[in-house]
Amino acid sequence: MLEQLREILDEERVLPDEPMKFHTTFRVGGPARYLVEPQSVPELRAVIDLCHVQKMPWYIVGNGSNLLVSDEGYDGVIIHLFRNVSQMRAEETRLRLQAGVQTVRAAKFALEHGLTGLEFASGIPGTIGGAMVMNAGAYGGEMKDVVRRVRVLLPDGAERDYSGEEMQFGYRRSRVAAEGGIVLEAELELAEGEPELIRARMEELRQKRLAKQPLEYPSAGSTFKRPEGYFAGKLIEEAQLRGFRIGGAQVSEKHCGFVINRGDATASQIWELIGEVQRRVYEQSGVRLEPEVKLLGFAGKERQE
């Protein structure tokens, strides 16, 4: 299959046995059989078609900011859309953004065009594609608040445009996630604003993140979804798990809602720690925490998915 992939893409954009620790924000993960980097929708389609013909599993990865890959890696094709398929265009108060655009870069692009409404996303370490799938949000804002249209490649190969309402956004979910589609492009509807006020709000949120989040360590951001009526970090703290460690994996001392890699963690240690946090929080409070992190390569262990 290697040669067939190289017929579709340039040789340097097909990486056999590529360690996934270089492509996730947890900085852990074993090798993918192939990691490929298409730079256009036709290339993306061609790679997926080949995977179907070869019966080879495949998975879309952006910045890898919400992903835990097993130490054994992934026996399939990782389709990497980070910094590629990343064109941006502003049209009056609308932004058209391809799936590989970094969310942080999109927020800066909005600032450059004097558009407000995307400040909340200025510190979200993912891509627009992932942000659409998971309805990414922070500090009172969510993607559902600004999405006008999303172009999706459906599992049957058809392309379709969904309006913001048709995306069926919910808390960390969307129609795309339910249908197994691939986001190709998003159109956001923002509003005209004062650049200095936009910049000030982005700086305010940056300072909040620096003060409250363990940005100095690799992590996947908030490890657990917010349970209805509770805060995950508070439940974890009440279970006396602040700073709890298994090997190089640790519940952050700065924010208990984050599991961090102290520098030498393995994916197995992170996964074991997540399970232990779930168990102890349930014993303490009766609340079941659900991971926000997605798993890849953990055959038979997706108990929280």
Sign of the Cα pseudo-torsion (20, 104, 147, 40, in order): negative
Give the phi and the psi of residue 205 in degrees, each rounded to 5: -70, -35
Give the CA radius of gyration of the chain.
Answer: 19
Sequence letter at residue 107: A
C-alpha span between 118 and 142 (Å, rounded): 9
57-94 burial, b at 16+ Cβ within 10 Å, e below that, comes to ebbbbbbbbbbbbbbebbebbbbbbbebbbebebeebb
Q: Residues 6 or more apart from 46 whose CB is under 8 A from it? A: 8, 38
C-alpha span between 226 and 135 (Å, rounded): 14
Task: Point out the catalytic residue in the list 172, 174, 185, 187.
Answer: 172
243, 253 Cβ separation under 8 angstroms: yes
The 3-state DSSP class for residue 178 equals: helix
Q: Diameter of the chain by CA atoms?
A: 56
Taking CA atoms, 202 is separated from 96, 189, 206, 220, 288, in Å, by 21, 18, 6, 21, 34
Tell me whether residue 65 is one of the annotated catalytic residues. no
In the block, tokens 């640790």 appear at 250
Q: How many CA atoms lie within 13 A of 140 on its CB side?
A: 4
Tell me whether residue 279 is one of the annotated catalytic residues. no
Tell me whether residue 222 is one of the annotated catalytic residues. yes
DSSP state, residue 84: S
Q: Residues 6 or more apart from 9 whose CB is under 8 A from it? A: 36, 37, 38, 43, 47
Task: Point out the catalytic residue in the list 70, 86, 222, 252.
Answer: 222
Residues identified as active-site = 172, 222, 292
